Amino acid sequence: MQVKIPSPLYSYTKNVNVVEGQGKTVLEVLDNLNVQYPGIKFRMVDEHNKIRPHMKVFLNVDEIKDLNTSVSTTDKIMIVAALSGG
């Protein structure tokens, strides 16, 4: 399935903004991405598999909080670095 990557994580994907991930849940997809791009998961998700405060994960058009949400191969995941800062 397609996973859209935000620019703060391009250093892991070598500037590729849409990558392929595999898994039956969002968490499994992120774990799969971490195999392909070591270290990427911990920048988005903490040690308790909780999405970090300024990151958002969308499954198709719906924001999800539970990484155990099931996914299918036709779904699309979009990871967003929430607008913030100064």
In the complex, least distance from residue 83 CB atom to other proteins, rounded to whole angstroms: 9
Compare residues 16 and 42 and give the one whose CB is closer to other proteins.
42
Contacts of 20 (CB under 8 A, 6+ apart): 1, 2, 3
- Give me the amino acid identity at 83: L
Compare residues 48 and 72 and give the one whose CB is closer to other proteins.
48
- Our finding on whether 10 is near other proteins (CB under 8 A) is no
Question: 55, 59, 64, 78: which one contacts other proteins (CB under 8 A)?
Answer: 55
Question: Could you tell me the CA-to-CA distances from 20 to 16, 39, 78 in Å, in that order?
Answer: 10, 16, 12
